[in-house]
Amino acid sequence: MYSLRKTPARLASPAASKLPRRILFWVMFAFIFAGLFGRDPWKTEDAAGFASMLTLVNQFDFNFSNWITTHISDINFYGEGPLNSIIGAISISIFSPLLELTLSPLDAQINAARIPNVAYYFLFLWGIWYGTYLLGRRKEAQPLPLSFGGEPKPKDYGRMLADVAFFFGIATVGIIIRMHETSYYPLLMALHSIAFYGFVRIIDNKIQGLIALSLSFIGSLAAIGLIGALPLIVVGLLLLILPAYDTKTKITLSFVFLITLACFAGWAFYVSSQDPIWFEGWLKHNFKILSGSELNTILIKIRDLSWYLWPSWPFALIAIYKWRRWILEFHILIPFLFYLVNLLIIFFVSPAYDLYYGPILFGNAVLAAMSIPTLKRNAINILDWFSIMTVSIALISVWFGWMAMQTGWPHKIHFNIMRLVNGYEVTIDWLSVFAGIVVSALWIMLVNWRIRKQPRGLWRGLIVTAAGLTCVWFLLSLLWLPLINYGRSYRSTGEELNRAVKGLVPPNSCVNPIDLGLGQLAVFNIFSNLKFSNNECDFAMIQANTHTNHVNKIQALIDDSQILWQGHRASERHGEYFIFLKK
């Protein structure tokens, strides 16, 4: 261990002053509740995750083999493991009857499926906070002792670092939309956060560490598959090889691997015997992801990561440099391994996909927090003012764009907005406008508090950043959610199809999807209640594009069939349309 006199962290006890705990909870709940409810599934993974939950609720009885594999209708779904579908289906079964008192049955199910996201987000931030707190209390992480005393106590210093890491986690730009989806992403982030805590906790509490790591390893496999658990497995293997853990800790960690292997082997044996086609497809899907990517995609991934991990990644790099002589100490080693392993996996997997970027956040946020005590006061003040400036500009832009949409002035901005949502009828929800004014006023009050009080705690710049990003997200959700939902949702198209074929398609008839994307298959299963299947069916649904010609076999099918419906989203701009026909 290097001498504590050489530590790059330098601060006095006022810099580690306690931030009221209620502020952490206010920011956390404001962030997760904004944009979580009152909208339809948008992205492919959002719709597919919800459709797999609905399949469990609506189509399957409690047959064990159905609940440990994933399907959308009768189509095998390999994009995620069964854990997210199971939790979502249970949440729908419990909460949707209560929500149906005020919502339609489908809206009640959509909102009920998102209730677990609140727990996922809490666990995501809890793991970051508690893991960082434990690391920050360690002797090797303490700041340089001052000549006349006055340095913070280990608990105060650890709490300050944990608060900073907590706010870095909230302020990460790339997770905003993904944490509000019904995909596996929020669940996986919660599990990896528990794993980060487990790798730290196992140092001084073997039983708690064993439980946390076992649950996170097994859960990550069940949430998405091999790619979900791979970063944790590699980090664990490296910690077994490196000299940081003592012998007892390494033995305990070995038991984690044995428990995980036993559970995975039991699941794989049962599924392969009950549904070998599904299991074979699942293996092919996972190995395809891990087959490697082309070198020319690395630059694309670096570009994407630079915005995904903003604003924490520059601080993480500073921490790696400043603490380079402490690289084998736990407070740097564990987050650095999370950072490095996930970075290499992101470069290796194919395709370049932001859903796989999430787990790198833990190492990034914690390392970024470790950099803050090493920075000069001027650098921290720059972060303060940069955050105030960018958030203020963002809030003004949100209001300006909304007023242009409502009033038609400036004409060019109004035109550019409306051409993206062809057919959208502009309305004003005065309750949302009032709430938006309140959010904007809260931001002004926060800036006024920062300028007037000038708090000395090192968390001051990060609370402005995290709270500011939360205000922007909250304001966007209040003012722009109806327009974005109109542009991204397939609800009106699905309901139009449902009305068109009502009475023409017998109940429980299956439909063959032809060139139908996963997201489109999911949304028509949700909004049109179509039972898709790869077996021979009397009906088919085709996804086509006005800019391309049908291949011969599809054109022959159209010519020999009766078209029952043809349509597209009202906001469609890329020529996509759908054909529903009777063979």
Average model confidence (pLDDT) for the chain?
A: 93
pTM of the entire structure?
0.95
Which of 342, 374, 406 is the C-terminal boundary of a domain? 374
Same domain, 408 and 500: no
Overall average pLDDT of the 404-418 stretch: 95
Same domain, 481 and 519: no
Q: What is the pLDDT of residue 332?
A: 98
How far apart (Å, rounded) are the C-alpha atoms in residues 475 and 392? 12
Residue 342 lies in a domain: yes
Overall average pLDDT of the 361-373 stretch: 97
How many domains would you assign to the chain? 3
Q: What is the pLDDT of residue 556?
A: 78
Residue 120 lies in a domain: yes
- pLDDT, tens digit, 9 for 90 and up, residues 277-330: 999 999 999 999 888 777 778 888 999 999 999 999 999 999 999 999 999 999
DSSP string, 447-510: HHHHHHH---STTHHHHHHHHHHHHHHHHHHHHHHHHHHHHH--HHHHHHHHHHHTTTS-TT-E
Whether the per-residue pLDDT at 487 is higher than 60: the answer is yes
Same domain, 545 and 406: no
Same domain, 369 and 499: no
Structural domain range at position 253:
18-36+114-374
Same domain, 308 and 223: yes
Q: Which residues lie closer than 8 Å to 143 by C-beta, 6 or more apart?
A: 7, 9, 10, 11, 151, 152, 157, 373
pLDDT band of residue 139 (cuts 50, 70, 90) is: very high
Quick one: what percent of the chain has pLDDT higher than 90? 81
Residue 500 lies in a domain: yes
Same domain, 483 and 569: no
pLDDT band of residue 3 (cuts 50, 70, 90) is: very low
What one-letter code names the amino acid at 230? L
Whether the per-residue pLDDT at 255 is higher than 90: the answer is yes
- pLDDT, tens digit, 9 for 90 and up, residues 53-103: 999 998 766 677 788 999 999 999 998 899 999 999 999 999 999 999 999
Which of 453, 488, 523 is the C-terminal boundary of a domain? 488
Per DSSP, helices labelled H in 311-376 are 313-322, 330-348, 360-371
Per DSSP, helices labelled H in 142-275 are 154-171, 185-201, 206-223, 226-241, 247-274
Residue 173 lies in a domain: yes
Strand 510-514 relative to strand 531-532: parallel, antiparallel, unpaired?
A: parallel
Which of 488, 521, 543 is the C-terminal boundary of a domain? 488
Neighbours of 222 (CB within 10 A): 24
Residue 86 lies in a domain: no
Same domain, 267 and 298: yes
Same domain, 282 and 133: yes
Q: What is the pLDDT of residue 137?
A: 97
Residue 523 lies in a domain: yes
Nearest to 292 by CA among 352, 378, 229, 226: 352
pLDDT band of residue 550 (cuts 50, 70, 90) is: low
Place of tokens 């002797």: 139
- pLDDT, tens digit, 9 for 90 and up, residues 446-474: 999 999 988 889 999 899 999 999 999 99
183 DSSP 8-state letter: S
Q: What is the pLDDT of residue 551?
A: 63
pLDDT band of residue 1 (cuts 50, 70, 90) is: very low
- pLDDT, tens digit, 9 for 90 and up, residues 504-527: 999 889 999 999 999 999 999 999
Q: Which of 2-6, 136-140, 524-528 has the lowest mean pLDDT?
A: 2-6
Alpha carbon distances (Å) from 374 to 19, 139, 318: 20, 16, 9
Same domain, 420 and 477: yes
Q: Are 325 and 319 in contact (CB under 8 A)?
A: no
Residue 526 lies in a domain: yes
Same domain, 475 and 516: no
Q: What is the pLDDT of residue 553?
A: 64
Whether the per-residue pLDDT at 147 is higher than 90: the answer is no
Whether the per-residue pLDDT at 547 is higher than 90: the answer is no
Strand 75-76 relative to strand 531-532: parallel, antiparallel, unpaired?
A: unpaired
pLDDT band of residue 149 (cuts 50, 70, 90) is: confident
Q: Are 122 and 225 in contact (CB under 8 A)?
A: no
Provide the token pair at 103: 């919502």
Same domain, 452 and 508: no
Q: What is the pLDDT of residue 146?
A: 81
How far apart (Å, rounded) are the C-alpha atoms in residues 110 and 106? 6
- pLDDT, tens digit, 9 for 90 and up, residues 551-562: 666 777 788 889
Overall average pLDDT of the 333-348 stretch: 96
Overall average pLDDT of the 147-168 stretch: 92
Residue 402 lies in a domain: yes
Q: Are 429 and 482 in contact (CB under 8 A)?
A: yes
Q: What is the pLDDT of residue 337?
A: 98
Same domain, 306 and 454: no
